[in-house]
Structure 1
């Protein structure tokens, strides 16, 4: 009996060790995203019919004094805010339902609002995801500071792209592809996502600048949680002797500024990855779905709550970025329609919107099927 209980409910069990951390991470990210839509929508005077964590049948819920149904639904892989006048959870308009609205409901219906209010409400979801990431990173920077090192080369690995290009121990990085670098981590940032791309490095050697070109090669590495990932490297090593490792301590404003900067770098890196992935230059196994995220959440939880919160920050910025892609029914798709409406000064025709939404939904479902396949069979 004890063995059965341990198997089902022990810290290393599938339920407690993986599923619970996964649901915690996903629920926080989804809740913050949908809360962005909800709060800005309410601020804009838009009526909200439902706020749901999850899809499908309701498990439990309650109505607030504004008439909004707050609920937890059976399929915990997302969430939604349904505004007055919406046809479905993707906030597509419903002409038939609009005709049934009372004058009071029509006044607060989503699709009767000025385009700027609709755009603000939609963009608030991804924006809140970014703010969550900034808040987490800023807290970490204020609490622990940040370990940095000088952008110096202590060792050049034999046979590496750096050796072939002529890098030498004692060289100091000045810039990578025109971007100035201040720390060795800056160099890693510019190199790690550019495997196979020739990069121009400016180095300081014996007081003179030297320009060299090297092409990062792909290598597999593991993080502290044991997750395997593939990055680009040129084969240089930094150590404490030449790198002079130190901890930077941040004030509150400094921590927030650094968190904003780091979030921007993550967003840029995500965009770079997707562009390279679209043209077949990234490994498909680097793209995972719920099963991979659940595995990462389980591994992070074993390392402690802070690692789990760090995963929340990374997932949040990723969810925010993906939702801004200009594909209906994602938030970015809505924003494209609102942009067109603002230019032509009238809403896009319902027939056109329906056709684009259907196409977009097919693309989104195909992407979801792809990452599920990757999770189960592809990698």
Structure 2
């Protein structure tokens, strides 16, 4: 009946495809996706049967051809088939959809005439339909009235007779309302089951990452707009319903994608003390590192909240202090208190009391001293599983200060890119375009050490001298008074082209490629770099063996080109923190008219610059949203409605060019996303099926010939003008629609292949 294709989805790749522990999840994926197709085709089948149409085939998957080597069939076109009554039920070898084959109807326009001929009754027992009547016109779209002289019909068996017999069980013999009901039944079934899937999911309890804001990207839209860390987004766009259970990786990320980079996204943020405020944020095109390589996506620059539970990444990142402590952290440890050497101790509470944010603040303000962590540890077996009924243990771990890794280069700071709304810099008069010259009575010097130099001045005003351009382009110096505030969060969010952030002043600026000074006796000084040199590129490669767990935590075969606008020195500086001894770091620089030079460098610990997080990583906050049946039904309708609107909006913006077609996903990406959701639990997988069902409903009802929407378009024409579309137009448009759908499928499958190649290369 239709091409239930898997297109038009924005899906993220997962990192566990092929893992043996995921086999059950992959089985759920196959069963779930097959069921969504089954439901769609069952809708067509049941209504067709109710209207008295003969259904010859009911297939999940397509059985277009056998897979052969020479004349030998290796894989038959049907993996499974069974004849029951007049219908053949089966599973085809091409898992891209499904179809119901009815007498007198075929989605392949090349078989149009054959199906018209098959609609004729041959046993002579049925009522005759007189050629040229309105009934006959509805039954045979190739028969034209005398006014259609420009469309010569192709003669079919029986043409020219005064009358002929029509099989009343053929699809073509049914009136327009009946055929419309048959065509729309698949989409209606998808919508009905979308509600059912979502209702069951919320009854079971949906695990999700809430839209509590734990991090802000330096210079991102949310940072510049003043969106508060620790606040929770409870409404997306004015006029929508308020929702305390919005999901970070579904509701928020898709709302950002739908907004694109040409319009503001309005978000209502509820702070931890219960206050609510609207913020207008304009998404920015950001180059993100993904498993498939660098990709541009619209973002507003927010990250989810963390808990105080230690993540396994902490123990794997051997280059950081947190992983080097003897008898140190274990995955699953929960931080309950922290203390500095001078005796200052802070109790870290739960999420309700803002525990993670208290911990962040303490680490930021004591970056240059050892910190003793009090942790609650659940005893574990050798394979990492918790020991049943074992009492939690209290353990202390002391982690030394973590020096930042440098090459010995002091790079030039660019003009201020953004000033955080409501920050002390904003209140003190700092503006985008200002160039920092002096801070607290001293030259700017090394910009990267500015946060460390301001650490002891929290709550105090400092003098800031900037160079500023007036309206006519003339430059002049201005002196401002700016109060220093402690950082709101530890900056762990960065991407290609990210600027440097000085949270103490509420400003960001890029780090340019011009060297302003070289630290004495540093690797850069030994290699011969000088002030005034321009760094062209920096390359990270790996020499020697690296532990498999470390490969995702170190820079591997990466070259950062600084000659364009896409990158700046902060990207190099960020990757330097992850470098290990096996990393070979090459740097190319230009000096005046001299030939470009390339040197090999090693990192060294900067004596007066510190990494506040010391390599600590925490588990992301997750919540479970469970509702009683009555509420779950309401959530089911809401979820389905939101998904339908979301898909329709995506398609509209795809058509207008606001969203790149490179964001489409094919069958492979859908399968990976489905497996990922199944891995999270049955409820999450059911919500994914809700989204997929809504997706198929919208896509299949697009007015494209060979899709359900195309058939409905032809039937609407027939209902209005009381005659079907001429045969030539029907065949031509159907062939064009088929070509478009096949081309689209080829395109998204090619995207999948490219992404897989990137992921596994």
Q: What's the counterpart of residue 37 of structure 1?
A: 44
Q: What's the counterpart of residue 8 of structure 1?
A: none
Contact 1:62 1:69 in 2 (8 A): yes
How far apart are 1:179 and its partner, in Å? Answer: 2.3
How far apart are 1:35 and its partner, in Å? Answer: 0.4
Contact 1:142 1:255 in 2 (8 A): yes
Q: What's the counterpart of residue 746 of structure 2?
A: 369
Q: What's the counterpart of residue 55 of structure 2?
A: 48
After TM superposition, the structure 1 = structure 2 runs for residues 131-146 of structure 1, keeping only pairs within 5 Å, are 131-144=192-205
Question: Are 1:83 and 2:102 matched, yes or no?
Answer: yes
Contact 2:201 2:682 in 1 (8 A): no
How far apart are 1:265 and its partner, in Å? Answer: 0.9
Match of 1:70 among 72, 82, 89: 89
Contact 1:202 1:209 in 2 (8 A): no
Contact 1:173 1:181 in 2 (8 A): no
Q: Deviations over 1:216-267 (max 9, x none)?
A: 2356599xxxxx9955325487795499x98765343432221111111112
Tell me how far apart the structure 2 counterparts of residues 111 and 354 of structure 1 sit (CA, whole Å): 16
Question: Are 1:121 and 2:182 matched, yes or no?
Answer: yes
After TM superposition, the structure 1 = structure 2 runs for residues 5-44 of structure 1, keeping only pairs within 5 Å, are 12=19, 20=27, 22-44=29-51
Q: Comparing 257-266 with 360-369, which one deviates more in the overlay?
A: 257-266
How far apart are 1:338 and its partner, in Å? Answer: 1.0
How far apart are 1:317 and its partner, in Å? Answer: 2.2
Question: Are 1:288 and 2:662 matched, yes or no?
Answer: no
Contact 1:156 1:237 in 2 (8 A): no
Q: What's the counterpart of residue 355 of structure 1?
A: 732
Q: What's the counterpart of residue 283 of structure 2?
A: 216
Tell me how far apart the structure 1 counterparts of residues 183 and 168 of structure 2 sit (CA, whole Å): 19
How far apart are 1:195 and its partner, in Å? Answer: 2.9
Match of 1:233 among 292, 296, 300: 300
Classify 1:221/1:256 alpha carbon distance in 2 versus 1 (closer, same or farther; 3 Å): farther
After TM superposition, the structure 1 = structure 2 runs for residues 329-348 of structure 1, keeping only pairs within 5 Å, are 329-348=706-725
Tell me how far apart the structure 2 counterparts of residues 88 and 208 of structure 1 sit (CA, whole Å): 57
Tell me how far apart the structure 2 counterparts of residues 132 and 362 of structure 1 sit (CA, whole Å): 30
Question: Are 1:160 and 2:181 matched, yes or no?
Answer: no
Q: What's the counterpart of residue 5 of structure 1?
A: none
Identify, as 1 or 2, the structure richer in helix.
1
Q: Deviations over 1:82-116 (max 9, x none)?
A: 11212456896732222355538721211111111
Question: Are 1:195 and 2:572 matched, yes or no?
Answer: no
How far apart are 1:63 and its partner, in Å? Answer: 2.7
Aligned length: 362
Q: Deviations over 1:314-373 (max 9, x none)?
A: 322222221111101000100111111111111111111111101101110110110111
Classify 1:15/1:365 alpha carbon distance in 2 versus 1 (closer, same or farther; 3 Å): farther
Match of 1:272 among 622, 644, 649: 649
Contact 1:198 1:213 in 2 (8 A): no
Contact 2:29 2:678 in 1 (8 A): no
Q: Comparing 293-302 with 343-352, which one deviates more in the overlay?
A: 293-302
Question: Are 1:106 and 2:170 matched, yes or no?
Answer: no
Classify 1:147/1:20 alpha carbon distance in 2 versus 1 (closer, same or farther; 3 Å): closer
Q: Secondary structure at the match of 1:107?
A: coil
Task: Tell me how large the CA RMSD over aligned residues is.
Answer: 4.1
Tell me how far apart the structure 1 counterparts of residues 39 and 697 of structure 2 sit (CA, whole Å): 10
Q: Deviations over 1:291-313 (max 9, x none)?
A: 22233344445445555444433
Tell me how far apart the structure 2 counterparts of residues 190 and 50 of structure 1 sit (CA, whole Å): 41
Q: Secondary structure at the match of 2:93?
A: strand
How far apart are 1:44 and its partner, in Å? Answer: 2.1
Structure 2: stretches of 5+ with no match in the other structure: 1-17, 64-76, 128-165, 307-350, 355-621
Greater Rg over alpha carbons, structure: 2
Contact 1:194 1:232 in 2 (8 A): no
Contact 1:152 1:170 in 2 (8 A): yes
Q: TM-score, normalised to structure 1's length?
A: 0.78
Q: Secondary structure at the match of 1:53?
A: strand
Q: Comparing 172-181 with 94-103, which one deviates more in the overlay?
A: 172-181
How far apart are 1:140 and its partner, in Å? Answer: 1.2
Tell me how far apart the structure 1 counterparts of residues 672 and 57 of structure 2 sit (CA, whole Å): 31
Classify 1:52/1:168 alpha carbon distance in 2 versus 1 (closer, same or farther; 3 Å): closer
Q: What's the counterpart of residue 370 of structure 2?
A: none
Classify 1:173/1:305 alpha carbon distance in 2 versus 1 (closer, same or farther; 3 Å): closer
Q: Secondary structure at the match of 2:199?
A: helix
Q: TM-score, normalised to structure 2's length?
A: 0.42
Tell me how far apart the structure 2 counterparts of residues 37 and 215 of structure 1 sit (CA, whole Å): 43
Tell me how far apart the structure 2 counterparts of residues 161 and 369 of structure 1 sit (CA, whole Å): 36
Contact 1:291 1:372 in 2 (8 A): yes
How far apart are 1:273 and its partner, in Å? Answer: 1.8
Q: Deviations over 1:137-194 (max 9, x none)?
A: 1001122268797x98787664221342354569897965542441352883644531
Q: Secondary structure at the match of 1:282?
A: coil
Q: What's the counterpart of residue 242 of structure 2?
A: 182
Classify 1:341/1:285 alpha carbon distance in 2 versus 1 (closer, same or farther; 3 Å): same
Classify 1:373/1:174 alpha carbon distance in 2 versus 1 (closer, same or farther; 3 Å): closer
Classify 1:173/1:344 alpha carbon distance in 2 versus 1 (closer, same or farther; 3 Å): same
Q: What's the counterpart of residue 3 of structure 1?
A: none
How far apart are 1:131 and its partner, in Å? Answer: 1.9
Q: Comparing 71-80 with 171-180, which one deviates more in the overlay?
A: 171-180
